[in-house]
Structure 1
Amino acid sequence: MPAVTVENPLVLPRVAAPAQARQRPVLYVGTAPAGFEGEGFPVRRAFAGIDYRHLDPFIMMDQMGEVDYAAGEPKGTPWHPHRGFETVTYLIDGTFVHQDTHGGGGTIKDGDTQWMTAGSGLLHIEAPPEALVASGGLFHGLQLWVNLPRKDKMMPPRYQDIGGGKVRLLTSSDGGALVRLIAGEIGGHQGPGITHTPITMTHISLRPGAELTLPWRPDFNALAYGLAGHGTAGAERRPFGTGRTVVFGEGDAITVRADDAQDSRSEDFEFVLLGGQPIREPMRHYGPFVMNTDAELAQAFEDFRAGRLGTVPADAA
């Protein structure tokens, strides 16, 4: 972990918060509960139990794996519907194939991202390729759900395939951090993801003992989630690591430090740092639909049952 890296981070653009920036305090650190999704692949529910006012515009985030499958074990999801939000699937290790009823789809692996705007609705499937099912192998990734504002919930579906090579790579002043900017902006640098709801999404590798302080939009919320290893969050150095989520308070800078020694498969402290502009609209979430009212949820289920969100292709049924 991970596939997208550089041998010498000091060749990358450097980013740092101004010295006078106001540090965001840590409001909460919690442990993500484990469960299963789709056909039975293991997940950790990163945002479970966190008040939605701290998450907005995000709905949920699952860490998929990390799991080393034996031959015949890799699993995915069956065909299922979505409406009213965007799904972001970021794959660190392994391979996933996506197909949807709006013509989107493709294969992602080792640092690639699939960004699907469900909008008015579609059916889709995510599954490992047959060759990976036969061989087994390492599987590890994230799926993030990003809410859409009321005005965009019924927009036409859209699909973005963000190859790992398109991700914007940055580092800290001393080269101790590798920042993969997938979407949004940090310190004047822009990631490749095109979003309807303004967000910033990063995957960061921090060398043992290194500290990173990033500028952060004050109108965004801020969350961190540990993928591998351990370190501390905030100037107050609150401990967090693999499977733990941090909620930050208000401010315009975020500090994370890696512990001097790491004991995971990765030699670095790996974590996701993300935030977005709160939508501040009523939100109703049930199953695969995220709408503004209960009546809109009921309509989404009715449209799904009536086949209005698309039909599974005959050659894929």
Structure 2
Amino acid sequence: MPAVTVDNILTLPRIETPALTAVDRPVRTVTTAPTGYEGEGFPVHRAFAGIDMGALDPFIHMDQMGEINYAPGEPKGTPWHPHRGFETVTYMIDGIMEHQDSNGGGGTIGGGDTQWMTAGGGILHIETPPEHLVMSGGLFHGVQLWVNLPRSDKMAAPRYQDITGNKVALLSSQDGGALVRVIAGEVAAHQGPGSTYTPIALSHTTIAPGASLTLPWNPEYNALVYVLAGQGTVGVERRPIRSGQTVVFGKGDTLTVAAADTQDSRSQSLEVFVMGGKPLREPVAMAGPFVMNTRAEVIEAFEDFQAGRLGSIPAAHESL
């Protein structure tokens, strides 16, 4: 996994040892993500399938894209499609993805980069591998997370953030056994570069075999861990986890993740995507690419899309 790393992890800021009075969050559930296909047919793991929406709030949906090693001509993306009422966060670990939207946002992201699109009141966008990657094939692996917007920001103006890997905050555990990449929000008193409407924290953490990380976590936030690769345990109860599983934690001040002493042949370390946020506790009405508060608002979103009020495909792409 070539996401952002450092030559000497011990030169990074260290995560402070939690206070003796800190309460480690208990593990509520561990679920295994089913597989499926998205867009033009690329494989995904549906990370939140089977998890109660109340435990996910303010998150709506997450796919692990790949990990897949494409042959030449096989890489796939998504066609132009609409969104309203939430934000998409696309984090690339391996491979390259290009984004373009009807609001003029867009760019190319590779290992360790993040594209953050606020759909807000409505937008059209497309995500595709670049032509040279389609021709050559290669490894493709990433995550796309949907973050709900509060009722007051559902119709906010669309915006796009290109967060390159060199902008993320890098932290080390006390013993250097874990590297934490803070993408957005505050983790262990360090701020990530992503700007959010909804109070959240996102990080990608690599934990070396046999190492353990106890991470301070905002007690007002929920806490979720998705295993991108490898195997290990979570919580002081040392509940086993492996690639493709999602952990929901209960309330507390810290969360603990540990890597198994021996990893499988495909994983040198335990790789986890750690996320949490302040629950919105608002009604959710969701259909396809729209996440609103009421069914009437979803119907309105479909009508606005069909009437062309969510934007138009740029002229250079109309023929695609």
TM above 0.5, one fold? yes
Measured at CA, do residues 173 and 22 of structure 1 come closer, stay the same or move farther in structure 2, by a change above 3 Å? same
Name the counterpart of 1:143.
144
Residues 3-22 of structure 1: CA distance to partner in whole angstroms, max 9, x if unpaired? 31012111100113223210
Residues 14-48 of structure 1: CA distance to partner in whole angstroms, max 9, x if unpaired? 11322321010000001000000000000000000
Instruction: Find the aligned partners of 1:19 and 1:139 in 2 and give their Cα distance.
Output: 42
Q: Which amino acid aligns with 2:256?
A: T
The CA deviation at 1:287 is: 0.3
State the number of aligned residues. 317
Name the counterpart of 1:161.
162
Specify the SS of the correspondent of 2:60: strand
Name the counterpart of 2:51.
50
Structure 1 residues without counterparts, runs of 5 or longer: none
Instruction: Find the aligned partners of 2:261 and 2:60 in 1 and give their Cα distance.
Output: 33
Is residue 282 of structure 2 the alignment partner of residue 290 of structure 1?
no
TM-score, scaled relative to structure 1: 0.99
The CA deviation at 1:264 is: 4.3
Residues 225-261 of structure 1: CA distance to partner in whole angstroms, max 9, x if unpaired? 1011000010000111100000000001000110000
Instruction: Find the aligned partners of 1:264 and 1:272 in 2 and give their Cα distance.
Output: 20
Instruction: Find the aligned partners of 2:49 and 2:24 in 1 and give their Cα distance.
Output: 25
Identity %, equivalent residues: 68
Instruction: Find the aligned partners of 1:67 and 1:97 in 2 and give their Cα distance.
Output: 17
Name the counterpart of 1:25.
26
Specify the SS of the correspondent of 2:79: coil
User: Root-mean-square deviation (CA), in Å?
Assistant: 0.7
Name the counterpart of 1:79.
80
Name the counterpart of 1:102.
103
Specify the SS of the correspondent of 1:91: strand
Instruction: Find the aligned partners of 2:186 and 2:60 in 1 and give their Cα distance.
Output: 21
Instruction: Find the aligned partners of 1:44 and 1:264 in 2 and give their Cα distance.
Output: 20
Moved more, 262-271 or 210-219: 262-271
Measured at CA, do residues 264 and 243 of structure 1 come closer, stay the same or move farther in structure 2, by a change above 3 Å? farther
Moved more, 10-19 or 111-120: 10-19
Instruction: Find the aligned partners of 2:312 and 2:160 in 1 and give their Cα distance.
Output: 18
Name the counterpart of 1:4.
4
The CA deviation at 1:265 is: 2.4
Is residue 241 of structure 2 the alignment partner of residue 240 of structure 1?
yes
Instruction: Find the aligned partners of 2:220 and 2:236 in 1 and give their Cα distance.
Output: 20
Measured at CA, do residues 144 and 264 of structure 1 come closer, stay the same or move farther in structure 2, by a change above 3 Å? farther
Measured at CA, do residues 264 and 121 of structure 1 come closer, stay the same or move farther in structure 2, by a change above 3 Å? farther
- Tell whether the 8 Å contact from 1:229 to 1:264 is kept in structure 2 after alignment: no
Moved more, 236-245 or 10-19: 10-19
TM-score, scaled relative to structure 2: 0.98
Q: Which amino acid aligns with 1:292?
A: N
The CA deviation at 1:186 is: 1.6
The CA deviation at 1:120 is: 0.3
Superposed counterparts of 1:177-192, under 5 Å? 177-192=178-193
Specify the SS of the correspondent of 2:298: helix
- Tell whether the 8 Å contact from 1:67 to 1:139 is kept in structure 2 after alignment: yes
Structure 2 residues without counterparts, runs of 5 or longer: none
- Tell whether the 8 Å contact from 1:100 to 1:125 is kept in structure 2 after alignment: yes
Q: Which amino acid aligns with 1:316?
A: H
Q: Which amino acid aligns with 1:138?
A: L
Instruction: Find the aligned partners of 1:226 and 1:122 in 2 and give their Cα distance.
Output: 31
